[in-house]
Amino acid sequence: MIADIFGNLGMGLSVAITPINLLFLFIGAFVGMIVGLFPGFGPAAGIAILLPLTFGLDPTTAIIMLAGIYYGAMYGGTITSILINTPGESATVASTLDGYPLAQQGRAGPALVMQAIASFVGGTTGVILICALIPTLANLAASFGPSEYFLIILFGLLLLATVMGDNKINGIISALIGFAVGMVGVDVISGSQRFTFGSPELIGGIYFVPVAIGLFGIGELLYCIYIGQHKIELKKLRLSFRSENFWPTRKDYSESKFTFIRGSVIGFIAGLLPGSGGTLGSIMGYSIEKKVAKDPEKFGKGEMRGLVAPECANNAASAGSMVPLLSLGIPGSGSTAVLLGAFMMWGLRPGPMMIVNDPEFVWGLIASMYLGNIVLIFLCIAAIPLFVKFLDIPYRLVIPIIVVLCVVGTYALHSSIIETWMLVAGGLLGFGMKLYGYSPAATVLALVLGGMAENTLLQSLIASDGSLMVFVERPISLFLTCAVAVVLLAPYALKLYRYVTKRNVGLV
């Protein structure tokens, strides 16, 4: 088993370590860190906006660069959490709880160095666990039929739509919008045109990239303008290696040694669950660390373990969320949905067959994640003063960069002005969704998986002559159906339990 892991990783490293791949990995990680610095722009927006820039590249190099952006954004998002109490994205919210108080106590340097180390440990642990899990899961997935695939998609979407969002109905509507948009085009089974209104431009369907760029890029941008991000006058922040107390103390390391392990494992497990990803992982990492601590009262007041735990967890979760993507071909989050779209754009179809047919690519990508973590820890520590300077750039000067990249990038996809208008439509929808608590990530995930969901559902129903028993006949499908039922019914059961308990207490 261990020999297999090292053998596979060695094969991956031989694919990933080329001067071009390393260069684009570095560029991706660097750009990703900058993307992560700007509030509201997480990895999903970064990957979607910068996707068109990878067109001139070899598919392996392109995916390695995009994975670098994904990781870089996770690293970069924390810098603003620590320095200005503004998380770059939701997965780094938990890092503000102790990160910002540390900065206020004049310990911004140690906090930034420790977050870089924690991110490295989390990311690296995640990669090692991926190596162990992916072949096993892919073998299991090889025995899956269409009913199991449909149930996994349903389970992932329900988790993303109902567990992660504030409003369950909004989450479900968001996913249904993604499915509805995904239905436009030609039906692969019957060959009939659907929702094309006779337009030749729509026969090929609505391409996911303009919609994703619109929802994540333009939608987020409009929301940031709406809340006045562009009006904020920034305070100039400075950090230097020569400044006093830049490096963490021995006490910081010794106190956090078990936190690194706990946070990484918790984060990875959270990342495996479709839809949960880094946000849930980091919150769980923080809460569990606080629970096991002998001095929980220190948390929230500038405790280094309170920063290390969520940082390890969110980076391990990013690695964990690659497991369902690579072994099942089913992304678990908005970011990995955009990555899946990029895979498809390059003609790659992740899933159990890709590991069998294209092992060099899969292991090359996994090895690049490991290399990405090494690049990022050096980049993160060596360039902290530089990244801090990026925070001096007011948001109003970033707006035109984002718009121009979104519009020109979308046009460059197929030289289509209609797709560019779809970007605007996606942007308006994304703005409304963000404003009123819907989930653009669920929309993109459903859009990317819409075709697969429909095909697997129809195949299951045709094979079973329309009987729904196909979803409970086999042990795996029965287990998945129960999981779906739990996700759907658990909140109501909990409500009922609370109501009954309250009433009983009232009666006593």
| Contacts to another protein by CB under 8 A | 52-53, 55-56, 169-170, 172-173, 176-177, 179-180, 183, 187, 189-190, 192, 194-195, 218, 221-222, 225-228, 230-231, 394, 396-397, 399-401, 403-405, 407-409, 411-412, 415, 417, 420-421, 423-424, 427-428, 431-432, 435-436, 453-454, 457-458, 461-462, 466
Q: Of 76 and 427, which has the nearer Cβ to another protein?
A: 427
Q: Cβ of residue 157: shortest distance to another protein, in angstroms?
A: 12
Q: Phi/psi zone of residue 273: left (φ > 0), alpha (ψ -120 to 50 degrees), beta?
A: beta
Q: Of 12 and 219, which has the nearer Cβ to another protein?
A: 219
Q: 327 — phi, psi (to 5°)? A: -90, -30
Q: Cβ of residue 461: shortest distance to another protein, in angstroms?
A: 6
| Alpha-carbon radius of gyration of the chain | 23
DSSP-derived secondary structure for 153-207 = HHHHHHIIIIISSS-HHHHHHHHHHHHHHHT-EE-TTT--EES-TT-HHHHT---
Q: Of 154 and 280, which has the nearer Cβ to another protein?
A: 154
Question: 97: closest CA among 110, 112, 105, 87?
Answer: 87
| Sequence-ordered list of residues with C-beta below 8 angstroms from that of 179, at least 6 positions apart, any chain | 446, 447, 450, 453, 454
Q: Of 374 and 428, which has the nearer Cβ to another protein?
A: 428
Q: Cβ of residue 276: shortest distance to another protein, in angstroms?
A: 22
Q: Cβ of residue 40: shortest distance to another protein, in angstroms?
A: 14
Q: 351 — phi, psi (to 5°)? A: 150, 180
CA distances in angstroms from 69 to 74, 150, 345, 498, listed in the order given: 9, 30, 17, 44
Whether the Cβ atoms of residue 161 and residue 178 lie closer than 8 Å to each other: no
Q: Cβ of residue 283: shortest distance to another protein, in angstroms?
A: 27
Q: Cβ of residue 218: shortest distance to another protein, in angstroms?
A: 7
Q: Of 34 and 134, which has the nearer Cβ to another protein?
A: 34
Question: 113: closest CA among 257, 246, 239, 278?
Answer: 246
The tokens describing 505, both together, are 């207490």
Q: Of 21 and 92, which has the nearer Cβ to another protein?
A: 21
Q: Cβ of residue 327: shortest distance to another protein, in angstroms?
A: 26
Q: Of 233 and 297, which has the nearer Cβ to another protein?
A: 233
